[in-house]
Structure 1
């Protein structure tokens, strides 16, 4: 979700909910209502049926379609064309180190690369995109980030796997990307590389119950430092830590615009 869209949502004033039906006074005789519950149901049913028939599909379809179009126009005007490649992405691809793999309508993104005889695969999700640089206070105002000079940075979870062709097992690291830095949560080793790398329900089931390794911050500080050097040498550094949140927001925005278009098309047809 773009920061602009989030601000718009906070800025919209609260509107009292509209009731779906309006109560009508019913005459009483001797303290009892004359109209029966059954008759009131018949009246309500007739009113709904005649309304639906008159509008063909639904009385709210046109209005909903118009609002979706307004939102779609706004996102395209403020976010630019989906065909435009942002500069940060051009710069990232120009280094020709990581390969980006992502599927439209899916929220996961995979970065992969080779390092010597190692294959690295890093997966993150656009579902974790959160507003970290612009936080909203209780009054709905936007609090400026005092030290924001590196662009949009959001805390994201990521999973990194390392495999070697001559080794049957693999390393798996659970990471958190925050403020442009990678924070290691834990490091797992799987004896079977397929169990550690396959994204299937069967592999996920096999991983359950296996020892996932100690919490990273409980390791000796010297060991933690060497692991940090190990990752930085393989490109898991601040440069990548700044790129991933930007790309997550970029993809989330594209998916949102596509979603608006698909929903509107469904309502219109």
Structure 2
């Protein structure tokens, strides 16, 4: 879905550039001939200089016309409400404990709610929509590099015992960032693998297009106790925890908004070990802890759909604002 939309946006521009180049190439000989005729040794043309410029040049006119054409195309393609709009409205109506904060011309979206004595903020951004996905060839190259790193570090890792290296599953490989990755088959029983596969097939949808991964940040604040900041990835209706960080209570922390605390990545603050290295029971209980607070499958499905809809609205608004500026 994402690649098709990007291709649809890029194709008209490529065609327009080619047509413009062909026109310039065709007209160039006649222009050169006319110029040569004017440069006769017996004719001297006066040079004229002007300090006044037209308010709207040809380039601006062409750009404004093209932007207007793009706006019309986007309006026609989105004249019929998509299923995503219905799913979004259904989620908001069934989960009225969440309050949506969405400002136009802003990439970040917030969801807030109260749970007992906690203030919970969920943050995500449409920037994930415009981030190009890694090509298969690039992924294979990274996998080869990871395998090579595993061979180089094999002797050292086998000699270590205890500590973080003993946490998590048995088949682990080091990622390019230095974290440990766990093979999916290590954390699933054989009987559960087929069930999970069937569940993922159902979540993909009729068109065979799975939801794209979206980064989600959750901030859980408690008075005089600081906050927990949890980094997750929402993909095909499942939240995967990346890290859990405790932000201690302080005057600086109390003075910042939830959005600022989510974006504040202090390089000296300990972010905890990679989630996959934690004891499996700790992982399960942390996931249950979030599920009780509404960080569940319904929200994991809602976030990518909302990003898709919001990105389209922001793109149309961006076209209109740029057109209004240049015309």
What is the TM-score when the length of structure 1 is the normalising length?
Answer: 0.72
> How far apart are the structure 1 equivalents of 2:136 and 2:228?
41
Structure 1 counterpart of 2:235:
178
264, 287, 291: which one aligns with 1:232: 291
- 1:124/1:247 CA distance change after superposition, 3 Å: same
**In 1, are the aligned partners of 2:210 and 2:236 still within 8 Å (CA)?**
no
C-alpha displacement of 1:114: 1.3
The answer (yes or no) to whether the contact 1:152–1:246 under 8 Å persists in 2 is no
Contact 2:124 2:217 survives alignment (8 Å) = yes
Deviation at 1:4, TM superposition (A): 5.4
In structure 1, distance between residues paired with 2:219 and 2:91: 21
Deviation at 1:204, TM superposition (A): 3.1
1:168 equivalent to 2:225? Answer yes
Answer yes or no: is the 8 Å Cα contact 1:130–1:154 preserved in 2: no
Residues 179 and 242 in structure 1, CA contact (< 8 A), matched pair in contact too: yes
What corresponds to 2:212 in structure 1? 154
CA distance in 1, matches of 2:80, 2:324: 19
The alpha carbon displacement at 1:80 in A equals 2.9
Q: CA deviation at 1:214?
A: 1.2
Specify every segment of 5 or more residues in structure 2 that has no aligned partner in the other structure, as ranges.
33-46, 138-200
* Of 205, 210, 216, the match for 2:269: 210
The corresponding residue for 1:265 is 324
Shift of 1:59: 1.6
Distance 1:10 1:65, change over 3 A: closer
Q: Which residue of 2 aligns with 1:117?
A: 117
Instruction: Quote the Cα distance in structure 2 between the aligned partners of 1:109 and 1:208.
Output: 25
Secondary structure of the corresponding residue to residue 286 of structure 2: helix
Q: Distance in 2 between matches of 1:97 and 1:80?
A: 31
1:51-70 alignment to 2 at 5 Å?
53=53, 56-70=55-69
Summarize the Cα distance change of 1:137–1:227 in structure 2 as closer, same or farther, 3 Å threshold.
Answer: closer
CA distance in 2, matches of 1:136, 1:200: 33
CA displacement, residues 106-164 of structure 1 (integer Å, 9 cap, x when unaligned):
100001111222111010111111599x99999xxxxxxx8631876121111111012
Query: 1:244: how far off?
Result: 0.5
CA contact 2:128–2:215 (8 Å) conserved in 1: yes
**Equivalent-residue separation in structure 1 for 2:134 and 2:118 (angstroms):** 40
Q: How many Å apart are 1:79 and its aligned residue?
A: 1.5
Task: Name whichever of 211-220 and 189-198 sits farther off.
Answer: 189-198
Please give the alpha-carbon distance, in whole angstroms, between the structure 2 residues aligned to 1:91 and 1:253. 19
Which residue pairs with 1:128 in the alignment?
128
For the Cα contact (< 8 Å) 1:111–1:123, is it kept in 2? yes
Higher RCO (C-alpha under 8 Å, 6+ residues apart): 2
TM-score by length of 2: 0.60
